[in-house]
Amino acid sequence: MRRHFLFALLLLCAGCAVTPKQPSGVPANVDLAQLDQWQARGRLGVSGPENGGSGSFDWQQRGDRTDLQIRGPVGVGSVRLQLRGDPANPDLKLETADGRKLESTDAWNELESRLGAQVPAGSLRFWILGLAAPGEHVWHEAAPDGSVTLEQGGWRIDYQRYSTEPGARVPVKMSASNGAARVRIVVDRWRLGQ
């Protein structure tokens, strides 16, 4: 009889176990394609035909506005990027570490010369979330190690590791390449919906 009581008590306690809560501000089952506010912080490495290096980044997305700060001796140097508007053809403002402020074509040309490849800046806000940007693209099935590959706009993006900690499945380790240009990204912190 005592064993039955202990068994019943264990079942009752198991039924009262607390379910982990979703992070505040993030609805359950977040649809990343519909998410218009998020932040990411992490590290990146860039290598191009003539230069390379590593550094850190802070990314804030608010609707159609992207604010991206890159710090450190990265191949692109320390820069602040602001993108706004249509992802297919966004307006770009770029501020360099020495205080130069460039817009439109000058900003695009500067970014391309620093990286050594055409920069699909309008696609980046989709790619970092693990999504294809609008337009033609090809997904390759998961490799035995779990990595998934996206090809779009002349770039190959390999998603090597994901996390569900921020409330949705988001990439935390990825690499992108286009010819001699290579970018490696590790996201140390995601904040979704804030």
Q: What is the average per-residue pLDDT within 21-33?
A: 55
User: What pLDDT does residue 7 have?
Assistant: 32
- Does residue 177 surpass a pLDDT of 80? yes
Question: The domain containing residue 60 runs over which residues?
Answer: 30-192
Q: What is the CA radius of gyration of the chain?
A: 21
- pLDDT tens digits, one per residue of 88-107: 788 889 898 888 898 988 88
37: part of which helix (H) or strand (E)? Answer: strand 37-47
User: What pLDDT does residue 29 have?
Assistant: 62
pTM of the model: 0.78
Residue 18 inside a domain? The answer is no
User: What pLDDT does residue 14 have?
Assistant: 31
Task: Give the CATH number for residue 53.
Answer: 2.50.20.10
Q: What is the average per-residue pLDDT within 163-170?
A: 86
**Residue 54: C-alpha distances to residues 2, 38, 91, 167 (Å):** 64, 23, 26, 28
Residue 56 inside a domain? The answer is yes
Tokens for 20, please give them: 């982990």
**pLDDT tier, 77 (very low <50, low <70, confident <90, very high otherwise):** low
Residue 48 inside a domain? The answer is yes
Q: Report the length, in residues, of the chain.
A: 194
Residue 58 inside a domain? The answer is yes
Tokens for 113, please give them: 């010369």
Give the end-to-end CA distance of the chain in Å, rounded to a whole number.
54
Contact status, residue 156 vs residue 174, Cβ threshold 8 Å:
no
Residues pairing with 183 in the sheet: 46, 176
Question: How many structural domains are present in the chain?
Answer: 1
Tokens for 158, please give them: 């390999």
User: What pLDDT does residue 74 have?
Assistant: 59
Q: What is the average per-residue pLDDT within 49-74?
A: 84
User: What pLDDT does residue 170 have?
Assistant: 93
- Does residue 19 surpass a pLDDT of 50? no
What letter represents residue 161's amino acid? R
Strand-pair category, 52-62 with 65-71: antiparallel
DSSP 108: H
Tokens for 42, please give them: 């992490």
